[in-house]
Chain A
Amino acid sequence: MSKPILEIKNLHAGVENKQILKGFNLTINESEVHALMGLNGSGKSTLAAILAGRDGYEVTEGTVNYLGKDLLELDPEERAREGVFLAFQYPVEIPGVNSTYFLKAALNEIRKHHGLQELDAIEFLALVKDKIKLLELNEDLLKRSINEGFSGGEKKRAEIFQMAVLEPKLAILDETDSGLDIDALKVVAGGVNKLRRTDSAQLVITHYQRLLNHIVPDFVHVMADGKIVKTGGKELALELEAGGYEAILKQ
């Protein structure tokens, strides 16, 4: 049996006395791709934020085990260095900070953490050239400031590009498909598919089934009111597409 990467048990969490997650359970093993679907407000993005360590959420009950460690005890940067990656739904702009410089600093933090030698500029550029083809990304974007003046599609592609460079053990894609036209969607999905590895896993959060035409998950989970209410194979997504969330939630 493949090794578990992430085990979430009975997770209760919220913001300012408002419970959002109410007994969430999920186990993700190596090489698996999980899709997490649900209506707006069901708690999908809250889960992503808590896993990445965003400030302002309070965990009241439950555990999150990541590769044998208590994930909730780690600072966000420690999680990243341990291999957790969140592709943001709304990536922020950082004016004046060069994208390549930023990504090199990030990769070297991760390498340092694992006792690897830091890459110099030349080695890093070689790596970047290699990965950039994967996403049909315009090289110019790398010369610009982080996300500054990027279109919605460019921002999402840049996120997946970062993922390609940082090679996480657990990638969480938070509604990466939102705001993408069908062509951009195909490129992003294609990139994600190419990044599948046997020793890592992906959690794809989405509202719509259409992304799952291109990223084929091993499991589909439907989330409602802070927990998973139904789990199935990729056919569950199609069922959702046909009958809508209501039909599933009624069961």
Chain B
Amino acid sequence: MSTATDTIEDLVKTEYKYGFVTDVETESTPPGLSEETIRHISAKKNEPAWLTDWRIKAFQYWQKMPEPTWQFVKYPPIDFQAISYFSQPKPKANAPKSLDEVDPKLLETYEKLGIPLRERERLAGVAVDAIFDSVSVGTTYREDLAKKGIIFCSFSEAVQEHPELVKKYLGSVVPYTDNYYAALNSAVFTDGSFCYIPKGVRCPMELSTYFRINAAKSGQFERTLIIADDGGKVSYLEGCTAPMRDENQLHAAVVELVALESSEIKYSTVQNWYPGDENGVGGIYNFVTKRGLCKGKNSRITWTQVETGSAITWKYPSCVLLGDNSKGEFYSVAVVNNMQQADTGTKMIHIGKNTKSTIVSKGISAGRGQNSYRGLVKIQKTAENARNFSQCDSMLIGSKCGAHTFPYIEVKNTTASVEHEASTSKIGEDQIFYCNSRGLATQDAVNMIVNGFCKEVFKELPMEFAVEAQKLLGVSLEGSVG
């Protein structure tokens, strides 16, 4: 007879499915960070002078900043000089003009990851931009989208082809002075996705970026910028994986969303970077700044995230609710297992009148994982009749993990209404036994219970990804019991 107590204490031996390395010749800059490195990256990408200058200013600012230590995570100091800041698969001749010219090994990589890029095998109704280490490998459905005036391309291409839009919005939501990792990203970012939805256009398909870190000792610093013009609507999804390596790799991205009048941006993340092994060796440091600006009246930004990977996750997808009647939403499932640490949450800054925000956070801790929710709800003086509702639930699996909640609430307008609900529960042996006694194996029971716990968040994900997320959750918690 298996004893539930022992098995719950059993630590995990989960295989990370995406841990393979693609054998392609890469071109990497030698490790190290200086103005010279930045000029090198900028020159490689053939950037205009204003962008090079912007990078240098960010770098100079970053050098003066102290590394932050307030977050509830532990890691040895990062040697920023030991990282290679630019890595790309060696181009065969010139840059590939279409996906047919892309190195087949790269296409294979994405196929193995379940992201087919070739025309005939494409995911139905989803346009994908695939980022491999520092560069975009290819973007699908571009022509179809262009017919509607939608721009969806890699950041590098946007700099070349739509410099006026990039110049106008880059750094407008997350200035390089914002925080340590945003400054670093601004200095060294290499590629990412760019999206512009014109006035009154509803994007007919899901847009998606798939990030893959492949090269060793490299960091990934991507920059994503999404703009929805008046009345534009878009749903966007990002996915991430990396090979298994014993050393830690840094991923410091910046995502900026700009929602103009009556527009809607839905940004969903399924993050599955390599989490390290069961002893905490290796894994990605995921230090990311994501922020959306509801600039126009009646605009709406929704962040949905399922965070299962990374050794350390540190991110707070936020909304600045500037336009009157604008809405910000944050739905999050964060899972930590083994030695993983997550300090994640959101910031909702209410500035406009009648602004509304909703926060639903579900933290799941297993193994020796530590999971923290950290959230700020700020109601400015100008935000008449602002409303916020926050719900933060934590679930513990086993007795060696931890869940922490750090809610910050600042209200400067008396007409505001702010509600915060929080709960912590331990996955019950009674619940597991109940499922067992109906014929369900323990692992299936845990998956079912955890999925039930996360239901409110999953229903916010685009359908096909909700199914993926459920599976991913199952894999992440494999071995946490049973």
Residues of A within 8 A of B (CB): 52-56, 72-77, 79-81, 85-86, 88, 91-92, 94-97, 102-103, 105-107, 109-110, 113, 145, 162, 166
User: B52-84: contact bitstring with A at CB < 8 Å (1 yes, 0 no)?
Assistant: 000000000000000000000000000000000
Do B437 and A53 have beta carbons less than 8 Å apart? yes
Do A53 and B1 have beta carbons less than 8 Å apart? yes
Known: A96-B452, A96-B453, A96-B455. A80 touches B444 (CB 8 A): no
B43 within 8 A of A: no
> What are the 4 tightest A-B residue pairs by CB atom distance, in nearest-first order?
A96-B452, A97-B452, A76-B436, A80-B439
B residues 428-461 touching A (CB-CB < 8 Å): 428-431, 433-442, 444, 448-449, 451-456
Bound complex: CA of A166 vs CA of B453, how far in Å?
25
Known: A95-B452, A105-B444. A80 touches B437 (CB 8 A): yes
State how many residues of chain B have any CB contact under 8 Å with chain A: 28
Residues of B within 8 A of A (CB): 1-5, 428-431, 433-442, 444, 448-449, 451-456
Bound complex: CA of A94 vs CA of B437, how far in Å?
14
List, in ascending order, chain A residues with CB within 8 A of B451's CB: 96-97
List, in ascending order, chain B residues with CB within 8 A of A109's CB: 438-441
Do A80 and B452 have beta carbons less than 8 Å apart? no
Bound complex: CA of A94 vs CA of B456, how far in Å?
14
Bound complex: CA of A55 vs CA of B454, how far in Å?
27
List, in ascending order, chain A residues with CB within 8 A of B429's CB: 55
Shortest beta-carbon distance from A75 to chain B in Å:
5
Do A75 and B434 have beta carbons less than 8 Å apart? no
Q: For chain B, what secondary structure do more than half of its interface residues adopt (helix, strand, loop), or is it mixed? A: helix
Known: A76-B436, A94-B434, A106-B440. A55 touches B448 (CB 8 A): no
Bound complex: CA of A94 vs CA of B427, how far in Å?
10
Bound complex: CA of A227 vs CA of B461, how far in Å?
56
Do A94 and B441 have beta carbons less than 8 Å apart? no
Bound complex: CA of A52 vs CA of B441, how far in Å?
14
Do B434 and A72 have beta carbons less than 8 Å apart? no
Q: Given B433, B434, B439, B449, which contacts A55 in the complex, CB threshold below 8 Å?
A: B433
List, in ascending order, chain A residues with CB within 8 A of B444's CB: 105
Known: A55-B4, A55-B433, A75-B1. A92 touches B428 (CB 8 A): yes
Do A76 and B433 have beta carbons less than 8 Å apart? yes
11 contacting pairs across A/B (C-beta < 8 A): A52-B437, A55-B2, A55-B429, A75-B1, A76-B437, A94-B431, A95-B452, A96-B455, A97-B449, A102-B435, A109-B438
Do A102 and B448 have beta carbons less than 8 Å apart? yes
List, in ascending order, chain B residues with CB within 8 A of A75's CB: 1-2, 436
Do A77 and B1 have beta carbons less than 8 Å apart? no
Do B436 and A80 have beta carbons less than 8 Å apart? yes
Do A72 and B1 have beta carbons less than 8 Å apart? yes
Known: A95-B452, A96-B453, A97-B451. A102 touches B438 (CB 8 A): yes
Known: A55-B5, A73-B1. A97 touches B448 (CB 8 A): yes
